Amino acid sequence: MSSFKRALRGEDLPASAITPREVYEGRRQLLRGLAGTGLAAWAGRHMIGSAEAATPPGGGLAKLAGQPSPLSVMEKPAPYKDATSYNNFYEFGTDKSDPARNAGKFRPTPWTVSIEGECRKPMKLDLDALRALAPLEERVYRLRCVEGWSMVIPWVGYSLSEIIKRVEPTGNAKYVEFTSVEQRDTQPFLGSRVLDWPYTEGLRLDEAMHPLAMVVLGMYGEVLPNQNGAPIRIAVPWKYGYKSAKSIVRIRLTATEPQTSWNRTAPSEYGFYSNVNPTVDHPRWSQATERRLPEDGFFAPKRKTLMFNGYDQVAGLYAGMDLRKFY
Amino acid sequence: MSVQPASPQPVSATVHALPRRAPPLAFPLRHLVLIKTVVWLLALLPVARLAIGAFSFALVDLPGGAALIALGRDLGANPLETITRSTGFSALVLLTLTLLVTPARQWLGQPWLIKLRRMLGLFAFFYAALHAMTWVWFDHFFDLREMAKDVFKRPFILVGFSAFVLLLPLALTSFNAAVRWLGGKRWLWLHRLVYVVAGLAVLHFWWMKAGKNDLAQPALFAAAMLLLAGARFAWTRRRARPPQAAPLDWLQVRRRD
């Protein structure tokens, strides 16, 4: 190794010249403290926050911890309050503040998920069984909404493939359909005609088996709050948010492409694939950029949307496919 | 505000082409100033609440800050969206109230109501301007190409923007001298643009909400506008005499009925 490289690695320094960790961390603490007592200006406020990349505190629900996952992105998660008060969950209302307001009566327990269809070992799993099925992981994923905003959320759960492989899909199984619950007495908008209920979503089997596709049982180190899809939902981070169905009661393996709620409502606007794709616009707005909530303030221009929401590892699933046609 | 005492003698029945109405409220000018101040403060409330929400981070450490923040509006996870929607909604409400003045004045027989119209109209313009500004500034940072692309993608923006542009000449000619310069007739014709603006504004809102099939609110505004238009139409037809000096009556401070 050249002396230059050695110098870069700091090996030319005597050990006595290296600042001990406690000392420099103490200095940072001091600086942080000073900044905290100073003016809490917009810019300053954001910089103080970004010094820590740890999971922000939850909302006081039952704890549900997961092991940190290498699939996590190194981006700053949204504060819990924002992630739980700005939701699209039409069973509780179409305004993004509706779910937090209207989901209080929802019953997330007891709960059973039926896994059925083209498989050899269909099963019904309750929450205890689901939580014990595979080791829980904490995965910090980007979530890109089709409406042009995004958040970073620390989910708790495991790969969807863990469930699917246990039911042993038959050779006919090509797709997976997810059905959300209908609780007529606790979900006031099930009476509305905004969508056909129950909410259904779907994935191709190989998409569902991709390690990134996730069964979610918690967020921010706690069980899911009702407005975020308690007690079990999926997270498919390379697709627009509506593909990640909430409060799931049925997972069905099928031979043919399942109908999805949004595709049924507006087929020209919401295709089956719905991959995040900055080059394919929604018919009514551009998908080239997005606003990261809540950290992008008023004076930050929108950021560029990344292909597959930055999850390039899924590109192989779509090799040879025209993603303009299969949007 | 004092109501005229009901006259003890039975009023001799006169033949009216118009429905019998309560007598207009009579009160001194200073009460009108008070009413105007209250309306002015009420009209400012939405923007004041947004401002409190936007600066809550600075208010939180001040004495009484928490109470103030509770009165303000929480801008939520997407402050820009909250501000855009709130200002647009306020603009529509104030536009509806502006258009309500004349029918209310006619049907209730309270000519003094006209004195609130200019203020309401200007507040409608004020909120429309804030609404347009959030789009031009915070959404696109004055980037003309980006704005053009957005309009091409989202035609409802063009409808809303047209409504705002058409409001401009009305706001600019809202003062008394402008009426004299233009002449009452021409001023009146110009200000009939407000009906076009109302149509465009409701269409803009309708189109925006159509994406989620969520048409309850725009339908309510459309119904209100149609109702008000119907009231005007019915009134003109019922009126025995053609209106004289009607467009300028708000200028005639000492009008006798």
Within a domain: A325: no
Tell me, what amino acid is at B42?
A: L
Q: Report the pLDDT value the prediction gives residue B110, as an integer from 0 to 100.
A: 85
Cross-chain Cβ contact B78/A294 below 8 Å: yes
- SS3 call for A188: helix
B213 interfaces chain A, CB cutoff of 8 Å:
yes
Residues A70 and A131 reside in one and the same domain:
yes
Residues A297 and A166 reside in one and the same domain:
yes
Cβ distance A246 to A89 under 8 Å? yes
Q: What is the mean pLDDT of residues A20-37?
A: 53
Residues A25 and A90 reside in one and the same domain:
no
Of the pLDDT bands very low, low, confident and very high (cuts 50, 70, 90), residue A40 is very low
Q: Report the pLDDT value the prediction gives residue B128, as an integer from 0 to 100.
A: 97
CA-nearest residue to A147 within chain B is: B211
Cross-chain Cβ contact B77/A286 below 8 Å: no
CA-nearest residue to B142 within chain A is: A301
Residue B247 pLDDT > 80:
no
Cβ distance A271 to A326 under 8 Å? yes
Q: Which comes out higher in pLDDT, residue B212 or A191?
A: A191
Residue A26 pLDDT > 70:
no
Residues A10 and A96 reside in one and the same domain:
no
Residues A32 and A151 reside in one and the same domain:
no
Non-local (6+) Cβ contacts of B50 within 8 A are B72, B73, B75, B82, B83, B86, B87
Q: How far apart are CA A296 and CA A300, in angstroms?
A: 6
Residues A83 and A47 reside in one and the same domain:
no
Q: Report the pLDDT value the prediction gives residue A112, as an integer from 0 to 100.
A: 98
Residue A159 phi/psi, 5-degree rounding, is -65, 140
Residues A116 and A18 reside in one and the same domain:
no
Answer whether the bond into residue A231 is a cis peptide, omega within 30°. Answer: yes
Domain boundary among A19, A36, A52: A52
Cα angle, residue B144 at apex, residues B158 and A284 outer, rounded to 5°: 45
Both tokens of A195, joined, read 């969508």
Non-local (6+) Cβ contacts of A131 within 8 A are A64, A217
Read off the pLDDT of residues A248-281 as tens digits, 9 standing for 90 and up. Answer: 999 999 999 999 999 998 898 999 999 999 999 9
Q: Report the pLDDT value the prediction gives residue B59, as an integer from 0 to 100.
A: 86
Both tokens of B142, joined, read 């004055």
The helix (H) or strand (E) run that includes residue B42 is helix B29-54
Of the pLDDT bands very low, low, confident and very high (cuts 50, 70, 90), residue A16 is low
Q: How far apart are CA B220 and CA B230, in angstroms?
A: 15
Cα separation of the two ends of chain A: 52
Q: Report the pLDDT value the prediction gives residue B13, as an integer from 0 to 100.
A: 43
Domain boundary among A30, A52, A74: A52
CB nearest B153 (choices: A86, A96, A281): A281
Read off the pLDDT of residues B151-193 as tens digits, 9 standing for 90 and up. Answer: 888 889 999 999 999 999 999 999 999 999 999 899 999 999 9
DSSP A207-221: HHHSTTSEEEEEETT
Of the pLDDT bands very low, low, confident and very high (cuts 50, 70, 90), residue B243 is low
Written in H, E and C, the secondary structure of A135-165 is CCEEEEEEEECCCCEEEEEEEEEEEHHHHHH
Cross-chain Cβ contact B77/A301 below 8 Å: no
Q: How far apart are CA A41 and CA A47, in angstroms?
A: 10
- SS3 call for A169: strand
Domain boundary among A36, A52, A68: A52
Residues A297 and A154 reside in one and the same domain:
yes
Residue to substitute from A90, A286, A290, A304, interface B, most B β-carbons within 10 A? A286
Cross-chain Cβ contact B58/A40 below 8 Å: yes
Residues A30 and A61 reside in one and the same domain:
no
**% residues pLDDT > 90 (chain B):** 51
Within a domain: A31: yes
CB nearest A86 (choices: B78, B80, B150): B78
Cross-chain Cβ contact B213/A193 below 8 Å: yes
CA A325 to chain centroid, in Å, comes to 25
Residues A38 and A177 reside in one and the same domain:
no
Read off the pLDDT of residues B47-87 as tens digits, 9 standing for 90 and up. Answer: 999 999 988 888 888 888 888 888 999 888 899 999 999 99
Cross-chain Cβ contact B77/A194 below 8 Å: no
Cross-chain Cβ contact A194/B78 below 8 Å: no
Within a domain: A324: no
Within a domain: A327: no
Residues A2 and A128 reside in one and the same domain:
no
Within a domain: A43: yes
DSSP state of B160: H
Of the pLDDT bands very low, low, confident and very high (cuts 50, 70, 90), residue A108 is very high
Q: Which comes out higher in pLDDT, residue A193 or B84?
A: B84
Residue B71 phi/psi, 5-degree rounding, is -80, -25
Within a domain: A143: yes
Q: State the ipTM, two decimals.
A: 0.71
Q: How far apart are CA A216 and CA A156, in angstroms?
A: 6
Within a domain: A115: yes
- Distances, alpha carbon A182 to alpha carbons A87, A105, B98, B170, in Å: 18, 13, 44, 51
Read off the pLDDT of residues B21-36 as tens digits, 9 standing for 90 and up. Answer: 567 777 777 788 999 9
Contacts A–B by Cβ distance under 8 A: 53
Q: How far apart are CA A157 and CA A7, in angstroms?
A: 44
Contact residues, chain A to chain B, C-beta under 8 Å: 40, 42, 45, 78, 81-83, 85-86, 94, 96-97, 149, 151, 193-195, 265, 281, 284-286, 291, 293-294, 297-299, 301
Q: Report the pLDDT value the prediction gives residue A62, as an integer from 0 to 100.
A: 96
Both tokens of B53, joined, read 């929400």
Range of the domain at A16: 1-52
Q: How far apart are CA A228 and CA A78, in angstroms?
A: 14
Query: How many domains would you assign to chain A?
Result: 2
The CATH number of residue A261's host domain is 3.90.420.10
Within a domain: A326: no
Both tokens of B191, joined, read 């200000």
**What angle, rounded to 10 degrees, do the helices at A21-37 and A42-50 form?**
150
Helices (H) and strands (E) in chain B, counts: 11, 0
Both tokens of B83, joined, read 């501000």
Residues A209 and A301 reside in one and the same domain:
yes
- Distances, alpha carbon B75 to alpha carbons A289, B41, B52, B53, in Å: 22, 21, 9, 6
Query: Of A284, A188, A98, which is closest to residue B210 (Cα–Cα)?
Result: A284
The helix (H) or strand (E) run that includes residue A68 is strand A67-68
Read off the pLDDT of residues B180-239 as tens digits, 9 standing for 90 and up. Answer: 999 989 999 999 999 999 999 999 999 988 877 778 899 999 999 999 999 888 888 877
Q: How far is B76 from chain A (nearest CA, A)?
A: 7
Q: How far apart are CA A222 and CA A229, in angstroms?
A: 13
